[in-house]
Structure 1
Amino acid sequence: MTKLKLGPLEDDKPVKLTTELPAAVFRDLRSDAEILTHSVGLMTRTEPAKLIAPMIERRMATDRAFAKARRNTLSSHLGHSVHDAGQETDATMDCR
């Protein structure tokens, strides 16, 4: 059987998440959506809930402490091993 270089693919199916926000945070989120709507000249109102995922993605993409901690966590779970011949084995990770 052929040994593939690509491991299992992550599930990219969106996950519905229900959460409660403090009223002040929701008011700010609603204001942010309104400002975004006007600043980019959209004709339809931006729903505040549509801003949450991009905000979280941006935070995780730019937070250096998070990136470092994630790299450390991932590298500790990979468990690469080296054969006697000096060839590295393929490693797959189960992210749950």
Structure 2
Amino acid sequence: MTKLKLSAIPDDKAVKLTVELPAAVYRDLTAYAEIIGRENGQAGPEPIKLIVPMIQRFMATDRVFAKARRLEVLQTSTARPVSERSG
């Protein structure tokens, strides 16, 4: 079987989220959590615990986003007034 992009969700502080999802997306999150649980031989995480790691993974693997962020950092660092630049 192919590996999922996510595995066990690390234990972390509780964060309150208010989000409205289509029923189909919630069913998919629930199924994903169940599969994670089966693969790890444990109970799957709560579906809501998958949202942040999925978004993080999505952004971390989005090459266009990463390139845009790098360009943004470069533009921000070169846009400072000369008096603020080091060197």
TM-score > 0.5 by shorter chain: yes
- Bigger fraction of residues in helix: 2
Query: With structure 2 as the length reference, what TM-score do the two structures score?
Result: 0.68
Q: What percentage of residue pairs aligned between the two structures are identical?
A: 53
SS at match of 2:58: helix
SS at match of 1:28: helix
1:80–1:89 contact (8 Å) kept in structure 2: no
Offset at residue 17 of structure 1 (A): 3.3
Between structure 1 and structure 2, the one with the greater Rg is: 1
Q: 5+ residue gaps in structure 1?
A: 1-12, 91-96
Quick one: which amino acid aligns to residue 63 of structure 2? R
Higher relative CO (Cα under 8 Å, sequence separation at least 6) belongs to: 2
Is structure 2 residue 77 aligned with structure 1 residue 89?
A: no
Match of 1:63 in 2: 62
Quick one: which amino acid aligns to residue 34 of structure 2? E
Match of 1:50 in 2: 49
Q: Residues 60 and 14 (structure 1 numbering): CA distance in 2 closer, same or farther, change over 3 Å? A: farther
Q: 5+ residue gaps in structure 2?
A: 1-12
SS at match of 2:19: coil
| Residues paired across the two proteins, number | 73
Q: Residues 14 and 45 (structure 1 numbering): CA distance in 2 closer, same or farther, change over 3 Å? A: closer
Q: Residues 15 and 34 (structure 1 numbering): CA distance in 2 closer, same or farther, change over 3 Å? A: closer
Query: With structure 1 as the length reference, what TM-score do the two structures score?
Result: 0.63
Distance in structure 1 (CA, Å) of the matches to 2:69 and 2:15: 21
Q: How does 1:71-86 map to 2 (within 5 A)?
A: 71-78=70-77, 79-80=79-80
Distance in structure 2 (CA, Å) of the matches to 1:46 and 1:17: 16
- What value does the CA root-mean-square deviation take over the aligned residues? 2.6
